[in-house]
Every structure is written in C-alpha cells, then in structure tokens.
Amino acid sequence: MRSEGGFDWTKREQEIAELEARSADPQLWDDPATAQDVMQQLAWRTADLEHWHALEEQINTTFELSELADPDDEAMIVELNTEEVQLGRQVDQLEIETLLSGKYDGQPAFLQINSGAGGVDSQDWAQMLERMYVRWAEQQGWRVAIVDEMPGDEAGIKSATLEIRGPHAYGYAKAETGVHRLVRLSPFDSAHRRHTSFARVEVMPEVDDSVDIDIDPDDLRVDVYRSGGHGGQGVNTTDSAVRLTYKPGTPDQLVVTCQNERSQIQNKATAMKVLRGRLLERELQRQREARLKLRGEYRDAAWGNQIRSYVLDDRRVKDHRTNVESSNPPAVLDGGLNEFIAAYLRDPDLNAG
C-alpha cells in the first residue's frame, strides 16, 4: 500500500474514484442537496491529494538543492533553512489530517451547546462558546450556520445548534465534545464575585440515507410553531419552525428543533439530519464507553467532569484530557482552538473510533 508520512494515498484515490463515479450518475442530480454534498466531498478530497503531491515535490526539490548547495553560500543556506522550517510546518499540519481516519471524520458536523445550571452566567457562557466556535470555523475557511438558537432569560442563550461544513469538520470538531467550565468575576453580580459556569457541547456527524439509522415514524412526534430569535427578517411570519421529539416520555427521548430555514419543509429536513446525527453519535459514544470500561478508564461525561477550564482572572485555559494549556484566554475564545484539537487527535486513547 502506497503511503507517505502516514498518508494513505491508495485509500484517498479510491475515495475520489468512488465519488467521481457517483458524480457521473445522472440520477444523482434528482436530489440537488445530495449532489452538492457529493461534489463538495470530491473537491475536498481532490484538493487534499493535490496538496500532498505538491508537498512531496517541494520536499524533493529542497533536498536536491541542499545536496547541490555550496556550503560557503550563506544566502543559499539561509534560504534553504527557511524553506525547511516552512515545509516542517506544512508536514505537521498534514500529519494531523492523517489522524482523521474515523469512519465519519470526513463528514460535516452539527455542534450543539447547552447551558448548565447557574442561570444568566451559564447562559452567557453558552453564548460565548457559540461565538468561539463560529470564529473557529470561519478561521478554517469553513461555512458555519446557526441552525437553531434558544435565547436566555436575561442574557446569553440556553442552547444553540451550529452546522459546520468544511474538510473533516466532524473529525476536528468532535474534540470539543464534553463539559466546558468557566471561572470569572461575574459581570452580572453587583458584588463582582467569582462565579463558575458550565456548558455542555455535543458534536454529531451529518450523515445521509446511506448510513443505516432506523427511525420508526411511530417513535417520532412532529410539532410546528412560530420561529423566533435567530433567523433573520421575515423568518417568524409563519409557523415554520419544527420540533422533533424522538421516543417522547422514554429514557431514550431526544428533542431537536430547527427554525433557521424559511419553510417548514426545509426546517424539518434539517432537523431530521440533526436527529440522525445525534442517534449515530449516541451509538458511537456507547462504543467508545464500552472500550474505556474494558480498560478501566471510563469517566461519565457529567457536569463535574469538565474537559476544559477557562479561568479568566488567572489568564489560563487548560484541557484536562491532554494537559495542554494557554495563557491567552481571549485568543482561545476568539477561536484559537487548533492547539487543543491537535493534542486531542494525537492521543490514540482519546481519538479512537
């Protein structure tokens, strides 16, 4: 099997061939949304392969120049050293991408944020996280949209769902799943005391009908209501928002809402995508927990088991899974998450399956 630096050329070429075959099928365009997704996946994987080819050529050229360089030519030596540093950075980034080998890592992602107990402080914290993830996605050059948002009682939000579309969006975003803890001097406390707030983040892959996820229509309750909050002008003039309740009144109940689209049909279609993603992620999480229990390493994702703490007055952000720290909370909250995500992906116990 041909590979370079951990990159599986054969697998990527096979994926491209399969996507090219699907794109050539005239019936694909009977479903424009699926067709657009296939073409986007094809473009991402082709660009990824071309990037590796270009990097391979750059490395070979630099190596040949270094072999021919005159050791007394200081300018050439400086130029080659600079080129090697730049190539090293590119290799590091592409090596991270080789770790995105999970079955659904190449898919778009839905990222859901829910505020924890703590009233207005926790709801404000949930909105801070929402902005952080929007900024992070934008910095990657990806498309991000707010699918649903529930405003807080006084400030902030109670919950929000983001749709993130970009190369390996789920593979990267899954590193953010868990409880996030904020410690700060509360702007909502007249005494300006220190408060601790929590919010939970869930990340699900977007999957199409080719993935076997059985949803019995009898297990689904569909409610429609008037949209409000996020969505733009004119979005709340009709009962276009949709709430799906899966297995209502049972321990397996899931509730998904969508009000971002202009029509009830579009909102229901998006809500079904989110529901399918949540059901799939629930099963993937069950499998991960089973593996951890076999090794005696399982910890429940309860409110007390936060994955990361953001302590603003101490100027410290710490990921408790990898021990990666930053002394610049404003930069992290402005979307600077790649260092934390890379450490997660490099850990074989965390990035498993």
| Helix (H), strand (E), coil (C) string for 194-259 | EEEEEEEEEEEECCCCCCCCCCCHHHEEEEEECCCCCCCCCCCCCCCEEEEEECCCCCCCEEEEEC
Within-domain flag for 232? yes
Same domain membership, residue 306 and residue 202: yes
Within-domain flag for 160? yes
Final residue of a domain: which of 76, 98, 120?
98
Q: What is the pLDDT of residue 320?
A: 95
- pLDDT in 10s for each residue of the chain, 353 residues: 344 445 566 777 888 888 888 888 888 888 887 787 788 778 877 877 777 777 777 777 767 667 666 677 777 777 767 777 777 677 777 778 778 878 888 889 999 999 997 789 999 999 999 999 999 999 999 999 999 999 998 999 999 999 999 989 999 999 999 999 999 999 998 888 999 999 999 999 998 766 678 899 999 999 998 876 544 444 445 678 999 999 999 999 999 999 887 788 989 989 999 999 999 999 888 887 777 666 565 555 556 689 999 999 999 999 999 999 999 999 999 999 999 999 999 998 887 75
Within-domain flag for 353? no
Final residue of a domain: which of 78, 98, 118?
98
Bridge partners of 316, per DSSP, are 311
Same domain membership, residue 271 and residue 145: no
CA proximity to 99, closest of 4, 6, 205 = 6
Same domain membership, residue 279 and residue 233: yes
Within-domain flag for 182? yes
Q: For residue 240, what is the domain's CATH number? A: 3.30.160.20
> In this structure, are residues 118 and 198 in contact, taking their beta carbons and an 8 Å threshold?
yes
Within-domain flag for 141? yes
Rounded to whole angstroms, the Cα distance separating 115 from 102 reads 29
- Pairing status of strand 308-311 against strand 178-185: parallel
Burial per residue of 298-319, b for 16 or more beta-carbon CB atoms within 10 angstroms, e otherwise = eeeeeeeebbbbbbeeeebbbb
| 134: its two tokens | 């929007």
Within-domain flag for 259? yes
| 21: its two tokens | 């075959």
**φ, ψ of residue 328 in degrees (nearest 5):** -130, 70
Same domain membership, residue 284 and residue 302: no
Within-domain flag for 334? yes
Same domain membership, residue 304 and residue 182: yes
Within-domain flag for 87? yes
Same domain membership, residue 307 and residue 200: yes
Give residues with Cβ within 8 angstroms of 31, minimum separation 6.
none
Residue 166 is classified by DSSP as S
Same domain membership, residue 306 and residue 201: yes
Same domain membership, residue 195 and residue 113: yes
Same domain membership, residue 273 and residue 307: no
Give residues with Cβ within 8 angstroms of 50, minimum separation 6.
none
Same domain membership, residue 307 and residue 199: yes
Neighbours of 1 (CB within 10 A): 6
Neighbours of 134 (CB within 10 A): 18
Q: Side by side, which strands form the sheet with 316-319?
A: 143-151, 157-165, 109-115, 194-205, 178-185, 308-311, 316-319, 325-326
Q: What is the pLDDT of residue 36?
A: 77
**What three-state secondary structure class fits 322?**
coil
Same domain membership, residue 271 and residue 135: no
Q: What is the pLDDT of residue 230?
A: 47
Same domain membership, residue 203 and residue 120: yes
Question: Residue 311 sits in which domain range?
Answer: 109-207+298-346
Rounded to whole angstroms, the Cα distance separating 110 from 104 reads 12
Final residue of a domain: which of 289, 310, 329?
289
How many domains does the chain contain in total?
3
